[in-house]
A and B are shown apart, each in its own frame.
Chain A
Amino acid sequence: MTDQALEAPRVSDAPEAVPRPTQIVPLKGLPIVAVLVAFLILSISQNWIWGLTFFHVAGGAVWTVVDLFVGLVLGPIIGRLSIEARAEFSARFMPKMVLLMPTVVLLTLAAGFQLAIQLGNLSPSSPNHTLLIASFAIVGVMAAIALGVLEPANIAVLFELRKPQPNGEVIGKLMRRFVYAAGILGAMQIATLVIMTRVASQ
């Protein structure tokens, strides 16, 4: 990923014929989120190990793969697209991310915390205790990056694209921020993968 590849477009290059996102949050996806969260609450309240394991493993897999794919695969490709193509891609891609990522993070972390308590991994006598604390620390840094940089950039791009004349420079700047943040999160996900596979095999 080079700076040149992600160079911000000039203001005069503002995309004008780009489809504007009609919704910031895709409303059709909200019922799915509601069902998933309801199942998560049920799994926690009933201490349902299979449900907790499913949400933690499946959610963690989606979270990791999306971060790695966006940061390391899609990011450099987006950087090489024309301004119009980049804006069109953002208009279609970013609304899905607004819904997908917070949901996946919530499912993974809430289920993981409950699972750790149920399986005794949080207990100080557990050989996994230190590894879990390390994992908490990594997730904490990731949360600060995701909440402070990635998510705001995501939503700001969508609002910019809704304007009659979106500012290409702003879109380029925010997309660059989004892709770099996703890349850093992707790299940190590898550390999480190492810790989690170690926890599962001890």
Chain B
Amino acid sequence: MTAQAPPAETTPASRVLPPVVEVTVGAIALAIVGGIYMAGYFPRRPPLGVPIGLLVVGAALLGVGFGMLSRVEDFGWRTFRLVGKWTLAAYVLQAGMIGYAFVHNGASGAPLVVIILLLVIFAVGVPLIISFTVGRYQAE
């Protein structure tokens, strides 16, 4: 007769989760590089090829991050939403401040649109990282 080992207790800390943080940090890093590239040209009009490329890849990575998140089942969703809501408010405010600095200094047209979209990645990505990191250690 063999004794069957009891199933190992699954705790929030022992969950295996997809690399949402790593992928989203990649998206934010690209957005930051794009922002720095454009700020380096300011107040002149920057060439938009590189920032648009970074924007597209960054947006795709952010989408992948959300896609991976949507497949997670055992997760602290309530805490994730609570933290996400407040951090989103905070980082939308921060992104708004950065956007205001560009607008105040005469950014307009296509460069402004690219900057705003890069800021959207920043303002959405940071709350995703923070709330995912908190949610992974919380019970469902």
Q: Is the interface of B mostly helix, strand, loop or mixed?
A: helix
Q: Are A153 and B133 in contact (CB under 8 A)?
A: yes
Minimum Cβ distance to chain A for residue B115 (Å): 12
Q: Is the interface of A mostly helix, strand, loop or mixed?
A: helix
For the complex, give the distance between the alpha carbons of A25 and B85 in Å. Answer: 14
Count residues of B near A (Cβ-Cβ below 8 Å): 37
Residues of chain A at the chain B interface (Cβ within 8 Å): 25, 37, 40-41, 44-45, 102, 106, 109-110, 113-114, 117, 122, 124, 132-133, 136-137, 139-140, 143-144, 147-148, 151-153, 155-156, 159-160, 167, 169-170
CB < 8 Å neighbour of B39 from A37, A136, A144, A155: A136
Q: Are A144 and B28 in contact (CB under 8 A)?
A: yes
Which residues of B have CB within 8 Å of A156?
133-134, 137
CB nearest to A146 among chain B residues = B126
Give the one of A124, A139, A156, A170 with max B CB within 10 A.
A156
CB < 8 Å neighbour of B42 from A122, A139, A169: A122
Q: Are A114 and B101 in contact (CB under 8 A)?
A: yes
CB nearest to B79 among chain A residues = A159
Q: Are B28 and A148 in contact (CB under 8 A)?
A: yes
Q: Of B29-37, B55-63, B66-74, which binds chain A?
A: B29-37
CB < 8 Å neighbour of B36 from A102, A137, A159: A137
For the complex, give the distance between the alpha carbons of A176 and B83 in Å. Answer: 22
Q: Which A-B residue pairs are the 5 nearest by beta carbons?
A: A152-B133, A148-B25, A136-B36, A140-B32, A152-B130
